[in-house]
Structure 1
Amino acid sequence: MLFKSLLTVAAGLLALPAQATRMTQHAKNMFYEEMTFLDNLYDPVAGYLYYFYYPLAAGPHETRSTVWYATGLLQRNEGNDTAHAVRIIKDVIANQEKNVSAQWFGDYTVYPEQPTVGSPSYVPVIYNSWDPNWRGFIGTTLIMIYEEFGYLIREDVQQLILESLYNNTIGDSYRVGGVDGDNLYPSYSNPSLMRAVVTGWTGNHCNDSNMTAAGEAYAQEVIDLFNLNDTLSEFNVPTYYGVSLNALTLWAKYMPASSVMNQNGPRMVADIWTAFGQFYNAKLQNLAGPWDRSYGYDMNKYVAIMSLYIWSLVGRDHVFSGTEKPWLLTHADDGEFIPLVAVLSEFHRSLVPDTVIDQLKSFSEERTVSRQAYTPPFDLEVRNISTWLSSDLQIGGDSYNQTVVGGASQDSTSFSPAVVHWLRAATPLQDASVGYFTLHPSEKSMQARIAPNQLNLTYPAGNASSIFTFVVASNPLGGKRDVTGLGDIDGVTITIGDGSTVNPEPTIAFCGLVGGTCSLIQ
């Protein structure tokens, strides 16, 4: 096996710290609340977390979240925590894909009960039977475990981590955007940032200068693209900003001073947070749109990883309406990312501008924000993003021209190029809440013009068959159940402007949990 060559290469292991990582007080509160929940998901017989919050998954376990949990176990380090964490590390690495000639070499199982990828009963389908991004998610976590908690695990387990990361990196080098169904370009921000640090860090620790150079070269491509607009190509993303920030924190904390990752990581973290603060409305507790990718439309009702960062920085009262339990929300499984946010919280806080901390606590002033982002090769031109925010209403739109609807993710269901949020009054059965509508895109190009209280959308290549489809929040409990027109939408008045070429009377469908006339979207 390829990893055997490392047994002599990486014989000299680094001296490692001898105490748990310091967490901010808010992060500590978040950490222990989540660990209590994850303890209930842990199956000590199997040594894995159960596959939480996935349809039809009763019984199977899940790999990625289990490695995140192992990080939390090592941070907590009570009772048998470390023994369980070591078992997790060994079992996950034992199931790593071993066919060096396969596209998925060095990847990890999505869930441990699955057959071997490429076996007769398990046809390899990228982002389905195997997920290449698991190398980044699990690889970055193994780096954190090695760096922060090496003193808790024996030298042979440290060596096993290095071997796994070496194979991980070799396999990840097989990824080329546009080849074999892969979409990994430097503009696919979150896996690109993870790839760079896993490659560079592993090269350094395994004394492989070619691997180190590959990590540095790939990081420089990502940095060059970032520098065009001082932002990531994957822009304004409530979930994947969090993944990218985690990777960049590793750039800043673990890479040597000579690395372009160490030199640029802190600045990039600060720039991402600055953009986030500009688009964030603390009163609505929502990142204003448009969003390149999102798994929900109201951050009070689904778990976005950026909400976890906000929690760690300014406290529980500033996320999820201050009362919602993360494990009861949509996409609740992303709460399993909490151990990573918490472990790095003290260091990460040092990279966040103080002005952003203030923006996370309260909404300060009405404003219009304009930014640009660029995602080659999917963008045919730079995207122009504009958003108007007031305390109770915010409107954002994206002018774009793409090769495929959804850009790098090639997913129209997570691409939200026009988004409106507003504050809804309390009803007898529900506290004040956030309403929204968002464009469900169907065209490869659109022009958006934003002004206070106005959203103007145009399809440059549109024709008589083009449609505008909006996903609209159901009215709050206690409000009107049946929506027959724009006037029935709770908390906001919507009018079609003079001169518009659309039919002012929309066709209305309900996408229900147990019936309706359309399919669910996020």
Structure 2
Amino acid sequence: MWKSLSTLALAGGLLQRCQASYVTSMSLNAQQLFNESMSWMDGWYDRDAGYLYDVDGGAALRHETRSSVWYALGLLARNRDSDVLEAEKIITNVFGSQFTNVSQQWFADYQVYPEQPMVGDAAYPPVIYNSWDPNWRGFIGTTLVMMMEEYSDLLSNATQGLILKSLAAATVGDSYRVGGVDDDNLYPSYSNPAIMRAFVSGWTGRRINDANMTTSGENYAKEIIDLFTRANTLSEFNSGTYTGVSLFGLSLWSKYLPDDSIMSEYGPKMLQGTWSAVAQLWHPGMKNMAGPWDRAYGYDMNRYVSVMALWFSALIGKDKSSLISKPQVMSHAADYAWGPLIAVLADFQASLLPEGTLMNLTAFSGEHVFEAQAYYPPYDKVPRNITTWLSQNLTIGAESFDETEVGGPSESQESFNPAVVQWTTGDDIAFISLWPTETALDVDVSAGKLNLTYPNGNSSSVFTLVVSTFTKMRTLTGWDGVQGLDVNVSGNANTSYSLSFGGEYGGSSSTIRDFEIWNFTYSMDDDFVGTPNLCLELKLWE
């Protein structure tokens, strides 16, 4: 008996949604990142709730929204057994988590987790980047676009409709963001969310035929591009995490927008310029991006998960990246959930890079100096000047700046590392990092030497140096105990210093980003008059 047209259509739809996994089309390195990160997230997935449990752990079985969306994209790419059905369940849940009151600053943002109280309630006041995170419109919105571009043939019409409705609302909500207003800090210089905002607006406007939305995205992209092209650098420069997010956003600019978009035109150029800087700062032997770091979640990429490590893993291989065999036990492991997105885009991004770029990431190119300039208005009064010296087993990098806030644009002393030394001890990677205490710094970097000056400093200024712990020398009484490096300190600061330990279970200082540290602090004499200066002369042990 002939089957009815409706039966044939249903069968065809089911066949289409059961097509082969996308994963087999990936390069082997991308497949490894995809499969291992998805296997890890499979263990966190709560099928009954249609959410991942919070992958940070320690959340007493609360769930988490953003990583659930990333996992859903991975489910669509894998397309095995009930993966597509579970992905649609997650998408439906997340659509229901979107705030709907157009009069609120957090309109069309997404709940951080589904169990949280209503943001704005008297007992749960709105706190930006806490009870609600405006950047999640970008993180989740970009992922929804990827689903539509890569896997729409797997999604039901109803689910596609939810995605477009969610994206349209999120784009409107993102237009509420104005740097300096209502505690928001989104300027075109805030590279990673700015790039995502421009993309989602430009893509969604074209898809739903909203010319104003399209134009808004294009105009915002032009501001980002103008900042980049002045020195061929991202304003948010050299971050193990956020350079990786910016590369993600620039991949979307390059892959999913039409030729008439300024983002399609400049996306590949900005990718190549960013990778040019990364290739000169990445030290394959140490498996670290040499400093300085505008925003870092640790002091050694071998010990915390960074988004750049995921790119390195997908492009040149896990063994050549800074990921250990089980990244889920590293600090900041929640960013391992980026794995499926990076894996899906990795081969496309590789196709845009100049020949030889990736090969040059696998072996140290020899002693060299990297110099660059970056600019992050309105926090930078003048552009920052960056100098990094790299050798086989020692790197020194620092930036001169004059800024409005201590801790840089993110106003975070923990994440802003304006002067960084790293070296190989034979057992691990050690570090010295300047803890920011001033709004201005002048630096001079050369082979084996780091010179630090506070142009606006005075007798109350301090130089605080955060120093790693060591495998063999567990207890320090001074610089003599620093493993693998001779440190000679000079300058006009008082030569005596305070020494403290920041440990997980004690010490008069605290851990920083999960890292135990030693704190060497130099003060100025009470009657000091002049410009505070501290100079480190550094020599590896023979």
TM-score (structure 2 length as normaliser): 0.90
Shift of 1:486: 0.6
Is the CA contact (8 Å cut-off) linking 2:302 and 2:324 kept in structure 1? no
Q: Is the 8 A contact 1:282 1:359 kept in 2?
A: no
- For residues 208-255 of structure 1, the C-alpha deviation after alignment (integer angstroms, 9 at most, x for no partner) is 000000000000010011111111100011100111111111101111
Q: CA deviation at 1:120?
A: 2.5
Give the number of the structure whose residues are more often strand, by fraction.
2
The answer for the alignment partner of 1:92 in structure 2 is: 94
Contact 1:307 1:319 in 2 (8 A): yes
Aligned counterparts of 1:454 and 1:284: Cα–Cα separation in 2: 19
2:484 maps to 1:491:
yes
Aligned match of 2:169 in 158, 167, 170? 167
Q: Deviations over 1:463-488 (max 9, x none)?
A: 11111111111011xx1211010110
**Counterpart among 106, 109, 113 of residue 107 in structure 1:** 109
Shift in Å at residue 519 of structure 1?
2.1
Separation of aligned partners in 1, 2:258 and 2:17: 15
After superposition, where does 1:416-495 map in structure 2 within 5 Å?
Answer: 416-425=417-426, 432-476=427-471, 479-495=472-488
Deviation at 1:323, TM superposition (A): 4.1
Q: Which residue of 1 aligns with 2:383?
A: 382
Return the alpha-carbon distance in structure 1 between the equivalents of residues 354 and 330 of structure 2. 29
Q: Percent identity?
A: 49
CA distance in 2, matches of 1:483, 1:241: 34
- Matching of residues 60-209 of structure 1 within 5 Å: 60-209=62-211
The 5 Å alignment of 1:208-357 reads 208-320=210-322, 323-357=324-358
- RCO greater where, 1 or 2, for CA within 8 Å and sep 6 or more? 1
Maintained 8 Å contact 1:16/1:148: no
The aligned residue for residue 428 of structure 1 is none
Distance in 1 separating the partners of 2:91 and 2:379? 37
- Give, in angstroms, the shift of residue 16 of structure 1: 12
Amino acid corresponding to residue 396 of structure 1 in structure 2: G
- Three-state SS of the structure 1 residue aligned to 2:499 is coil
- Tell me the residue number matched to 1:10: none
Match of residue 513 from structure 1: 504
**Alignment partner of 2:166: what SS?**
helix
Alpha-carbon distance between aligned partners in 1 of 2:18 and 2:447, rounded to the nearest angstrom: 53
Shift of 1:18: 7.2
Detail structure 1 runs of 4+ shifted over 3 Å in the superposition: 15-19
Corresponding residue SS for 1:469: strand
Contact 1:291–1:417 under 8 Å retained in 2: yes
Cα drift, residue 351 of structure 1: 1.6
**CA shift digits 1:460-519 (9 cap, x unpaired):** 11111111111111011xx1211010110111110113xx11233321111111221012
Structure 2 letter corresponding to 1:33: E
Greater Rg over alpha carbons, structure: 2
> Conserved in 2, the CA contact under 8 Å of 1:105 and 1:171?
yes
Residues in 2 aligned to 1:503 and 1:326: alpha-carbon distance in whole angstroms: 43
Aligned equivalent of 1:395? 396
Partner of 2:412: 411
Instruction: Tell me by how many angstroms 1:521 deviates.
Output: 1.8
2:492 to 470, 490, 501: 501
Q: Offset of 1:324 from its aligned partner?
A: 4.2
CA contact (8 A) 2:17 2:155 kept: no
CA gap 1:233/1:16 in 2 versus in 1, 3 angstroms: farther
TM-score (norm 1): 0.93
Distance 2:343 2:60 in 1: 28
TM-superposed CA distance for 1:17, in Å, is: 13
Instruction: Call closer, same or farther: CA 1:18–1:220 in 2, change over 3 Å.
Output: farther
Aligned to 2:41: 38
Which amino acid is 1:347 matched to? F
Deviation of 1:376 (Å): 0.4
Q: Which ranges in structure 1 are unaligned for 5 or more consecutive residues? A: 1-14, 426-431
CA offsets, 1:323-345, max 9 Å, x none? Answer: 44211111011111001000111
- In structure 2, C-alpha distance between the alignment counterparts of 1:515 and 1:241, rounded to whole Å: 34
Q: Provide Cα deviations, 1:22-68, integer angstroms capped at 9, x if missing partner.
A: 322101011111111110011111111111225x4121111000100
> What is the number of residues matched between the two proteins?
496
Residue pair 1:62, 1:110 contacting (<8 A) in 2 also: yes
Q: Distance in 1 between matches of 2:498 and 2:468?
A: 16
Instruction: Note if 1:53 corresponds to 2:56.
Output: yes
Distance in 2, Cα, partners of 1:182 & 1:243: 19
Structure 2 unaligned spans of 5+: 1-15, 514-542
Secondary structure of 2:433's counterpart equals: strand
Q: 1:288, 1:395 within 8 Å by CA — same for their partners in 2?
A: yes
Secondary structure of residue in 2 paired with 1:438: strand
Confirm or deny: 8 A CA contact 1:395 1:420 kept in the other structure.
yes
